[in-house]
Structure 1
Amino acid sequence: MPIPSPFNALALAAALLTSVNAATTSVQTYPFHTVGTSASGASGRLSVRTLSPQQSVSVLALRGLTPNRAYVAHYHALGPGGGEACASQGPITLGFPAFKADARGQATVILRADPARLRGNLGAYVNVHMASDLTDIPLCAAVLKVAAAPSKPAQPPVTAPRLTVKIGDNVFQPVSLSVVAGTTVTWVHAGQVTHNVLSLQVTDLHSPDLRPGDQYSFTFKTPGTYTYYCSYHDGMSATITVTNR
């Protein structure tokens, strides 16, 4: 199949981009910039128009290429390294028809594709390669300027630690407990008679009378060792050691 002349290809591209069926869509244009030194004077633009939910047209209008030289062009997805799209080294997602620059170093290339194949990161940028050496990339057009930052998984809310002390008849269980500052300790009455929780060292640690099933909570904020007791029962005491985080 003969390769159309730049004039005929450009006329066809113009017809596609201004077709009646596409009257309600807009053309997105992205400039090419030089990447290597093999075509320092090369330039051009990528024009993309969505004609329908099933069809889009991408047109490359290039100049300053090596005359009569064969080229290929591809859409690339964003690479895993992030950063500027053309430098992200993403994988090829869609190829343009192979083409050759004319005697003036110009070329117009048309690609029809399902828009779904260009959405998101799939059509992040277009590279123009030398057909004889795909590592030689004279031109690149960035569709997405910068790779999106990877999303961070949502972190669960930080909650203060909580511990429970059981109040039995004439005993606190455990009788010795170590917690970090900021911990809330809850005393749960599991006995049969009235008890309370008091401390001479921490005046705020002062529960009301607790009856079976009642609870009382206190948050320890300052490091230290604290003794607490029940005023109704001799010898019913325990200690809590509070440490730094």
Structure 2
Amino acid sequence: MPRGKLILRSLAGGTLLLGIGAAATVPTQVHMFKHTAERTDPKAGGRAVVRSAGTNMLETTLTLSGLTPRKAYAAHYHALGPQASADPCMTNGPVTLGFPPFTASATGRATVKVTAEASKVASNAGAYINVHAASDLKVVPLCAAVRRTPPAARSSAVTPAAVTPAPATPTAAVNVAIGDHVFQPRVITVKAGTTVTWKHQGAALHNVISLTTPSLRSDDLKKGESYSYTFSKAGTYEYYCSYHEGMNGTIIVTD
């Protein structure tokens, strides 16, 4: 790859070339929404238009129709998830960027946009866009596939920011507090055989899901509930909350 360039490939096979440190000229992309298997809001449809918004910035505008009138919705960019599928929308990937919450008009229409750094949706981070029911994020009436990434790249869907890990602890049990939009501590180091328990202390609904370790997956957790997992093998385990952008953590397990 030429130095100082960021390349984004669209699902249609086009290439977006963004100059780092210079004004970016990005061809406009249009991605059509399709119904998911749930078939909620059966008349819903629309498109996502992605265009340049300045130096290394992208603006994504969702134009939707056929929604339930006056119903509240949410929309997110997602990375590819661990479930192998030719359709990015079926991979159950983590949230990487959220749109502002919105409500359908009296005629079931809505327009919502988000502007963010191109790196927020570069490569695997912007594989698809879901439209969710705000009252239940598990209800996904629409999805737009943006790009596909080879399976080998899926494990890097969400990379936590550089954080100095907490020192390894010899204890056999460690707690992680779940606050609203944060795991605390976010990065910990433990010995193999340690049981980590996530304790929900916030108000919103959260979960604990790993892209690379299918068995590390909690149910949805409410305030006061907890989830435990025993790490028997050394390695680095990244996890996230599927409901909230940027809410992720890392467990480093040593021998």
Return the TM-score normalized by structure 1.
Answer: 0.50
> Is structure 2 residue 31 aligned with structure 1 residue 25?
no
CA RMSD of aligned residues (A): 1.8
* Other structure's SS at 2:124 match: coil
Q: Report the Cα offset of residue 24 of structure 1.
A: 4.4
Give the gaps of 5 or more residues in structure 2.
1-22, 154-255
Distance 1:97 1:149 in 2: 30
Pair 1:26–1:69, CA change in 2 (3 A): same
Question: Percent identity of the aligned residues?
Answer: 46
Q: Report the Cα offset of residue 112 of structure 1.
A: 0.6
Q: What whole-Å deviation, never above 9, does each CA across 1:113-142 have from its counterpart, x for those lacking one?
A: 010101010010000000001111000000
* 1:1-245 → structure 2 map (5 Å cutoff): 24-35=25-36, 36-83=38-85, 84-144=87-147, 146-150=148-152
Larger of the two Rg values belongs to structure: 1
Distance 2:113 2:125 in 1: 18
Flag as ranges the 4+ runs of structure 1 deviating above 4 A.
none
Letter paired with 1:106: R
Give the gaps of 5 or more residues in structure 1.
1-21, 152-245
Count how many residue pairs are aligned between Structure 1 and Structure 2: 129
Distance 2:47 2:91 in 1: 20
Distance 1:73 1:128 in 2: 4
Q: What whole-Å deviation, never above 9, does each CA across 1:29-57 have from its counterpart, x for those lacking one?
A: 00000112221111000000123333210
Distance 2:97 2:71 in 1: 22
Letter paired with 1:124: A
Asked if the contact 1:82–1:147 (Cα under 8 Å) also holds between the matched residues in 2, the reply is: no
Distance 1:79 1:23 in 2: 29
* Other structure's SS at 1:41 match: coil
Asked if the contact 1:53–1:115 (Cα under 8 Å) also holds between the matched residues in 2, the reply is: no
Letter paired with 1:40: P
